[in-house]
Structure 1
């Protein structure tokens, strides 16, 4: 597929994925550990873990948004797409999927602009948490960085899928009952998606 796919083979791509994985593991362990320590100190030792909620807040923000970015990398976010159940022509289905991806990118851009303004405000005013005086910029920067990574992956997959749609007529994984036109079938010798005529012939045999 040319340049877009070769991006996945670069050190840049692999480094971002590795950093996200490490960040998620560290933040998950730190969040769980802080909650566990706070519970033990409060209900067993009868003392207080001063500022635990502020520490948890920092790690939780980074965990949530790194997780969201990683979901964009895997392209595994939950989708409530009922049209896929009724549209069986792969070309038309993926045209609608591409439109949905375009709207996803646009919404992501808007959210990223707001997150940038949100982060810049925290940079200029430098507000601190009440107890431990942690800069609010630290958790708020997670919002911007997470949305930036999400936008990067959404744009990447949009370009790849658009090129696949133009070349082969589809890009998604077919479900049972899906078919492709003979015209697009001829473009890809390795395509195993049946045509509508082949599906009807199979139903007749059954």
Structure 2
């Protein structure tokens, strides 16, 4: 669609060097960027499948809960207030797992202005590496605060009002999502560092 709007056969001259993903694309042979980590990536594919399955199940359950709440509230006039707690719970897990999966696929929203100004691949990659390091640092800070908040709620033994579920079930969505983001952020840094070394190395 983008190619059609720009009337170009290839976007390579428009966007410059393509961003490097933290994990290799399915079916693609190991490269100098992702090579040597095959066992890790095999385990990661299982983790990615679990993330997709969890998000799918949570989204289906969330939709069914919303339909059930509308039916109970407006058809039989007997709303179940527990749904008001379960819906945010499911939404939080979908949100934070989706955030982590977005990090895996490198599908974040980005302006891309840098690729229009900088044409030198090593310089562009170095800037992206700096951005990845800064992003990982921010994720680790948020993860520390999320862990502190979860520990606080766990220490108090807080429970939800109607379902009497431990509040840490909500909090663990943050811990899980941010931990996975940090994992993929670290893989991103490793891949970009390897790519930068390969670009600056001697060319044959």
TM-score interval, smaller chain: 0.7 to 0.9
Alignment of 1:39-188 (within 5 A): 39-169=70-200, 186-187=203-204
The structural deviation recorded for 1:69 is 0.8
> Higher relative contact order at CA 8 Å, sep ≥6: structure 1 or structure 2?
2
Q: Considering only aligned residues, what root-mean-square deviation do their CA atoms show, in Å?
A: 1.7
Secondary structure of the residue aligned to 1:119 is helix
User: What CA deviation, in whole Å up to 9, does each residue of 1:21-76 have, x standing for no partner?
Assistant: 11101110111111111112212222212211101121111111111111111111
TM-score (norm 2): 0.78
Match of 1:3 in 2: 36
Long gaps (5+) in structure 2: 1-31
Give 5+ residue unaligned stretches, structure 1: 170-182, 188-206
Task: Measure the CA separation in 1 of the matches of 2:149 and 2:50.
Answer: 24
- Matched residue of 1:38: which SS? helix
SS of residue matched to 1:47: coil
Could you tell me how far 1:126 is from its partner in structure 2?
A: 1.5
Report which stretch shifted further, 138-147 or 112-121: 112-121
Q: Are 1:72 and 1:150, in contact at CA under 8 Å, matched by a contact in 2?
A: yes
After TM superposition, the structure 1 stretch with the greater mean CA deviation from structure 2, 82-91 or 24-33, is: 82-91
Q: Deviation digits for residues 7-26 of structure 1, max 9, x if unmatched? A: 21x2x212211110111011
2:57 maps to which of 17, 21, 26 = 26
Number of residue-to-residue matches in the alignment = 171
Larger CA Rg, structure 1 vs 2: 1
Q: Which residue of 2 aligns with 1:173?
A: none
